[in-house]
Structure 1
Amino acid sequence: MIARSADWSLELIVTLELEAAGRHSDFVDLNDIASAAGARIFRTINSNSVDCLDAIGQSGADFIFVIGWSQICREEFMNLKPGKIIGYHPSPLPRLRGRAALPWTILLNEPITAGSLMWLGDDVDNGD
């Protein structure tokens, strides 16, 4: 589990509102994972909302990981931790970039796939 380390802690998990989960076939309720990790959970439909930004800002986190969230992180979000926001994409970038990486992996009958972590940059789909 990502939160099992003596060197760091998981402070906050931002996840989708339960009422909106039905429109996402890959939704997993993270409440039990948050509880087991001792993390607070914040539910939202908009990662750029003032309430969400406040929750993240008040969490005291050193880094922000954006995993499994298809919304664009706007300027206010990126300003929470400049240079310390890490994104995840479910393909070996730059191959299969875009919103449909998993369907294209299946449609192209890819025998092997990968995931990519990147520092989020100041524009969509850029950063090291």
Structure 2
Amino acid sequence: MKIIFIGCVKFSYRALNAILEKQNQNIEVVGVVTKKTSPFNSDFCSLEDIAKENDIPCYIAETKEQKLMLEWIEQFHADVIYCFGWSHLLSSEILNVPKLGVVGFHPALLPYNRGRHPIIWALALGLKETGSSFFFMDEGADSGEILSQEKIIVDHSDNATTLYEKISIVAINQIQTFTLKLAENNYKTEAQDHTKANTWRKRTKKDGEIDWKMSAKSIYNLVRALTKPYVGAHCDFSDKEVKIWNGRIEEANTDEYRNIEPGKVIEVNENEIVIKCGEGLFTITDHEFEKKPERGSYL
């Protein structure tokens, strides 16, 4: 089975490595499509080096235009294309090139939560579970038939880094399993129930701004959703934007603070800053304040 691999994020790199480990006379990666740079992928990772190390032809996509990419892909007569970690929909012409189709990846429990930033939104919304879904791509977004899907529990302590890692570990195992099944023509798919689908929108900078009138729980979810490898949540202090990378909900008697306005600094201890929220208290534990706010001041 000849595979073309498309991707440009850290998960793409790990997935390609996992497939190369399983290469044999029946499974071969014949081409790689990637980018040199990306202005919007926080976890960007070019696959050019790994392609060169394994003597695999590599196409560098410079723009969204796909005509030249199509022509390059067609020469390999691939049986299947894997597209894992690519921020653009593929053209119908590319989707129709391989005999088996194009397999895409979405870290959510499809048909639920299609669309953009699935790890960020899952954490920001405080979801208890998410998933790792591989599907045959059609002309829609994350709407094709499911090839492999696993449920993943989201713990209260999870953040963007740990959830990314959880999903990656599960997904790599899925890839190695269904690659063997595809090579043996021994696989099954399941159509998505489109009536259950919702689509998450693109995140904006405004979505990462902490409003201290939010509950401590909502602020905690926002901070853990946007921590590394993503851009970080932020608040304003002294007319400057300050990144907030980590924090915790304080298990305090909130009645004691019921007359305190949201955004007031309750306590400052070494690197930790306790803030009154719309509901509860939130302690900032990892931040980029140049000068820490004083007790009694406001964010």
Short-chain TM bin: 0.7 to 0.9
Offset of residue 97 of structure 1: 1.4
- Amino acid paired to 1:106: L
Counterpart in the other structure of 1:35: 52
Q: Provide the C-alpha distance between the structure 1 equivalents of 2:104 and 2:138, rounded to a whole number of angstroms.
A: 10
Deviation sequence 1:43-82 (CA, Å, 0-9, x none): 1144652210011111232101111112112222222126
Q: In structure 1, what is the equivalent of residue 133 of structure 2?
A: 116
The answer (yes or no) to whether the contact 1:86–1:120 under 8 Å persists in 2 is yes
Pairs aligned (count): 126
Q: Secondary structure at the match of 1:115?
A: strand
Structure 1 partner of 2:89 = 72
Q: Deviations over 1:78-106 (max 9, x none)?
A: 22126511111121212321112121122
Amino acid at match of 1:59: F
Structure 1: distance between partners of 2:126 and 2:49: 34
Three-state SS of the structure 1 residue aligned to 2:109 is coil
Structure 1 stretch displaced more, 39-48 or 2-11: 39-48
Matches within 5 A, 1:1-128: 1-4=18-21, 5-6=23-24, 7-16=26-35, 18=36, 20-46=37-63, 48-81=65-98, 83-110=100-127, 112-128=129-145
Q: Which runs of 5+ in 1 are unaligned?
A: none
Query: Would you tell me which structure has more strand in proportion to its own residues?
Result: 2
**Amino acid across the alignment from 1:55:** W
- Give the Cα–Cα distance (whole angstroms) in 2 for the partners of residues 112 and 123 of structure 1: 24
What are the ranges of 5 or more consecutive residues in structure 2 without an aligned counterpart? 1-17, 146-299
Q: TM-score, normalised by structure 2?
A: 0.38
Conserved 8 A contact 2:66-2:91? no
Contact 1:11 1:38 in 2 (8 A): no
- Please tell me whether the aligned partners of residues 87 and 117 of structure 1 are also in contact (alpha carbons under 8 angstroms): yes
Larger radius of gyration: 2
- Identity among equivalent pairs (%): 28
Residue 42 of structure 1 deviates from its aligned partner by 0.8
Q: Which moved more, 1:59-68 or 1:21-30?
A: 21-30
User: How does the TM-score come out when normalised to structure 1?
Assistant: 0.82
Q: What amino acid is aligned across from residue 78 of structure 2 in structure 1?
A: A
Rounded to whole Å, the distance in 2 between the matches of 1:109 and 1:38 is: 44
CA distance in 1, matches of 2:142, 2:58: 27
Q: Deviations over 1:10-64 (max 9, x none)?
A: 1111112x2x424321210212322344321111144652210011111232101
